[in-house]
């Protein structure tokens, strides 16, 4: 069990920056997760079992972040739409962080989101949304305002929100040192450019390609102090 703990700690540390893994590391994690889970069931040292269980969650998160890159990307074009969009929504939500290499991140997401929509009718995006999310999205006007909380000097991301208070929550995470400058971005977007809307995490999330956002403003958190 100690060997599993050490191996897991090393893999997590190696991926501390959140970058996509090298193929060899991905295969190691893919094999290590089920092995660890099986070992836990046969081990009696509660302290070490607890230690490994605490490491499993970040290890599985790393695995999910890389799953589409190494397993699904080449096969995705052959998946039925219903399966493809459902799995993609799960991947996107669970991944949380797709790494510090924004160019690679954007290439991956455009191949998953945008290229699929070019190949298929645009209306297929509704398959990525649950019924309540589709209803909410259908009630939005053709142009509406979205918000994003981030550091001022970061590049634009794919996840935005309809709710300023949600953006403020995420922006506040970049207020831990004097070198960080948290802001709330505000942009007016066209409904036709939105990939999907999801409120699974109660975040009123709008998924949109940053290239679709041509103009935005950045405001200090104090501007939204009543949000």
**Residue 208 and residue 158 in contact, taking contact as beta carbons nearer than 8 Å:** yes
Of 5-9, 42-46, 187-191, 213-217, the poorest mean pLDDT is in: 5-9
What integer pLDDT is reported at residue 111 of this predicted model?
78
Give percent of the chain with pLDDT exceeding 70.
Answer: 59
What local confidence, expressed as pLDDT, does residue 192 receive? 92
The label of the residue with tokens 């550091």 reads: 151
Strand order in the sheet with 217-219: 194-198, 205-208, 159-161, 143-151, 182-190, 217-219
φ, ψ dihedrals at 151, nearest 5°: -75, 145
Higher-pLDDT residue of 171, 175: 171
- Tokens 């403003």 correspond to 217
Query: Cα separation of 164 and 166, whole Å?
Result: 5
Which pLDDT score, from 0 to 100, does residue 177 have? 67
pLDDT for 145 beyond 80: yes
Q: What is the pTM of this model?
A: 0.67
Q: Which residue has the higher pLDDT, 150 or 37?
A: 150
Question: Any idea where the domains of the chain sit in the sequence?
Answer: 1-128, 130-224
Q: What is the pLDDT of residues 25-40, one digit of tens each?
A: 656 666 777 777 777 6
d(CA 88, CA 125): 11
Residue with tokens 């066209």: 190
For 206, counting Cβ atoms within 10 Å of its Cβ (0-12 exposed, 13-18 middle, 19+ buried), the class is buried
48: CB partners within 8 A, 6+ apart: 1, 2, 5
Per residue, what are the HEC states of the chain?
CHHHHHHHHHHHHHCCCCCCCCHHHHHHHHHHHHHHHHHHHCCCCHHHHHHHHHHHHHHHHHHHHHHHHHHHCCCHHHCCHHHHHHHHHHHHHHHCCCCCCHHHHHHHHHHHHHHHHHHCCHHHHHHHCCHHHHHHHHCCCCEEEEEEEEECCCCCCCEEECCHHHHHHHHHHHCCCCCCCEEEEEEEEEHHHEEEEECCCCCCEEEECHHHCCCCEEECHHHHCCC
Confidence of residue 7 (pLDDT cuts 50, 70, 90): low
What's the rounded mean pLDDT across residues 165-180?
Answer: 81
Q: Cα–Cα distance between 172 and 154 in angstroms, integer? A: 14
pLDDT cut 90: percent of the chain above it: 30
């Amino acid at each position: 069990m100690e060997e599993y703990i050490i191996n897991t700690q090393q893999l997590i540390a190696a991926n501390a920056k959140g970058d996509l893994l090298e193929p060899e590391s991905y295969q190691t994690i893919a094999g290590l997760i089920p092995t660890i889970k099986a070992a836990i069931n046969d081990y009696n040292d509660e302290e070490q079992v607890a230690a490994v269980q605490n490491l499993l969650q970040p290890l599985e998160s790393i695995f999910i972040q890389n799953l589409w890159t190494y397993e699904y990307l080449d096969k995705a074009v052959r998946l039925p739409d219903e399966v493809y969009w459902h799995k993609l929504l799960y991947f996107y939500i669970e991944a949380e962080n797709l790494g510090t290499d924004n160019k690679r991140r954007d290439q991956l997401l455009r191949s998953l989101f945008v290229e699929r929509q070019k190949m298929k009718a645009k209306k297929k995006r509704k398959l990525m949304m649950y019924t309540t999310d589709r209803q909410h999205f259908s009630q939005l006007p053709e142009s509406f305002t979205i918000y994003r909380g981030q550091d001022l000097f970061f590049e634009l991301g794919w996840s935005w929100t309809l709710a300023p208070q949600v953006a403020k929550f995420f922006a506040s995470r970049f207020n831990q040192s004097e070198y960080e400058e948290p802001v709330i971005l505000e942009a007016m977007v066209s409904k036709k450019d939105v990939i999907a809307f999801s409120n699974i995490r109660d975040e009123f999330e709008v998924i949109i390609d940053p290239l679709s956002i041509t103009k935005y403003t950045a405001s200090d958190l104090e501007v939204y102090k009543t949000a």
